[in-house]
């Protein structure tokens, strides 16, 4: 379900009290609008927050409200208990697991962040759930309570036979370009006749955007939210450069990819949406993780069919055809050619856990690691100084 940016049907008064806030649909649309507004200031976490609130939190609330005597929506939201958080979290992590075929323990923290942001937004509108607000406040001292919730969530997931990986251990799509997964994916996107796609049509538009997003993941290793945050004017066609990262880097793009991004940019300029994101839905809101995951899951299914394999026997039950799997391929290649780790962090936006996992694939045995160290040392100017007498 895409959100539609709507004009506010209500306004906040001086005291921050919400009027006509009487349905979950209004909550969803206005929370989405709020995230779009904040994303324009460069602090967008639209994808992580909105998708989880839409697909898990509000779905749970809608079902629970059918079974409660609380008819007033504000009273209902204020009465949500901390004890319900593990139930909602498990629903969300199940959703992610069935989409991706794999989920890491970081998914719990991502859910906590999304839920805390949602209730902080409600508090700003005059709907305060003090228990949840205090638990997820930035300066909260309730770490033991959150750790207890984490343990309960992990226990429930274990009972449901949902494996949880360690942070950063999601499998990469491939480690080298000759791996069958990489070859299959490249063939899939190269077989799309993008020159003939009509971007005014929904399916063609999405397919074209999927191609560009996949290529950027594989080339630069961008974390998903950094990719989704790319704006129309971040691409400068005069120099075939894409502005990325913090601080900003200006990445020279391959000719074919540069041509494709220019086509999308010019098309976006003809649209009248308020959002200035390069990648958007047909309703004008930024894309979220569900859009590309849908495409990648179909690619994975075709790959398994070609390999005559079942999901359960492939890659130890994990799914490398994910956005994390794609970006890790890009990071591995950058590590292999010796790009400075600080530069990789600044360009891609990844965290240290992902980098370490990629490093293990880039230097996958002790001989390679030794060769890497020795080659790097020989490149230092002082190395030759010590060849002779000092």
- Per-residue confidence (pLDDT) for residue 256, from 0 to 100: 92
What share of the chain has pLDDT > 90, as a percent?
Answer: 30
In CATH, the number for domain 170-390 is: 1.10.443.10
- Per-residue confidence (pLDDT) for residue 275, from 0 to 100: 87
- Per-residue confidence (pLDDT) for residue 244, from 0 to 100: 93
- Per-residue confidence (pLDDT) for residue 329, from 0 to 100: 94
C-alpha distance across the termini of the chain, in Å: 71
- Per-residue confidence (pLDDT) for residue 177, from 0 to 100: 81
- Per-residue confidence (pLDDT) for residue 49, from 0 to 100: 75
- The span from the CA of 342 to the CA of 105, in Å, is 25
List the chain residues with pLDDT less than 70.
1-22, 36-48, 67-71, 99-102, 104, 106, 138-141, 165-170, 310-318, 364-369, 372, 385, 388-390
- Per-residue confidence (pLDDT) for residue 315, from 0 to 100: 60
Cβ-contact 280, 273 below 8 angstroms: yes
Neighbours of 368 (CB within 10 A): 12
Q: Count the alpha carbons within 13 Å of 286 in the hemisphere toward its beta carbon.
A: 33
- The span from the CA of 218 to the CA of 212, in Å, is 10
The whole model's pTM is what? 0.61
Burial classification of residue 102, based on how many CB atoms lie within 10 Å of its CB (0-12 exposed, 13-18 middle, 19 or more buried): buried
- For CATH 1.10.443.10, the residue range(s) in the chain are 170-390
Reading phi first (left if > 0) and then psi (alpha if -120 to 50, else beta), residue 349 is in left
- The span from the CA of 50 to the CA of 38, in Å, is 12
With a CB cutoff of 8 Å and minimum separation 6, the contacts of 339 are none
- Per-residue confidence (pLDDT) for residue 141, from 0 to 100: 66
Reference 85, options 182, 14, 150, 134; nearest CA is: 150
């Amino acid at each position: 379900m895409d959100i539609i940016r709507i004009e506010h049907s209500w306004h906040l008064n001086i005291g921050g009290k919400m009027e006509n806030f009487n349905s979950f649909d209004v909550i969803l649309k206005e929370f989405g609008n709020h995230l779009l507004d904040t994303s324009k200031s460069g602090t967008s976490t639209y994808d992580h927050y909105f998708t989880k609130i839409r697909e898990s939190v509000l779905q749970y609330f809608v079902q629970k409200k059918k079974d409660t005597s609380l008819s007033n929506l504000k009273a209902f939201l204020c009465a949500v208990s901390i004890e319900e958080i593990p139930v909602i979290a498990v629903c969300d992590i199940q959703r992610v697991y069935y989409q991706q075929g794999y989920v890491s323990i970081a998914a719990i923290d991502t859910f906590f962040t999304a839920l805390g942001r949602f209730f902080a937004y409600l508090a700003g509108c005059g709907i305060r759930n003090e228990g949840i607000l205090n638990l997820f406040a930035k300066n909260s001292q309730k770490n033991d309570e959150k750790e207890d919730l984490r343990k309960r969530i992990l226990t429930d997931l274990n009972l449901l036979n949902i494996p949880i990986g360690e942070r950063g251990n999601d499998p990469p799509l491939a480690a080298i370009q000759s791996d069958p997964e990489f070859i299959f994916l490249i063939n899939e996107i190269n077989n799309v006749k993008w020159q003939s796609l009509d971007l005014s049509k929904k399916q063609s538009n999405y397919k074209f955007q999927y191609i560009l997003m996949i290529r950027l993941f594989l080339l630069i290793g961008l974390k998903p939210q950094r990719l989704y945050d790319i704006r129309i004017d971040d691409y400068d066609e005069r120099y075939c450069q894409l502005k990325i990262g913090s601080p900003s880097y200006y990445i020279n793009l391959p000719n074919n990819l540069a041509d494709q991004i220019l086509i999308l940019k010019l098309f976006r300029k003809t649209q009248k949406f308020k959002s200035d994101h390069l990648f958007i839905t047909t309703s004008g809101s930024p894309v979220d993780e569900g859009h590309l995951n849908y495409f990648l899951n179909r690619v994975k299914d075709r790959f398994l069919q070609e390999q005559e394999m079942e999901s359960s026997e492939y890659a130890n039950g994990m799914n490398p055809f994910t956005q994390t799997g794609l970006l890790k391929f890009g990071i591995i290649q950058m590590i292999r050619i010796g790009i400075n780790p600080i530069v990789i962090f600044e360009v891609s936006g990844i965290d240290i856990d992902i980098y370490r996992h990629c490093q293990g694939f880039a230097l996958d045995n002790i001989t390679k690691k030794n060769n890497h160290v020795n080659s790097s040392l020989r490149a230092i100017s002082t190395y030759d100084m010590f060849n002779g007498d000092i």
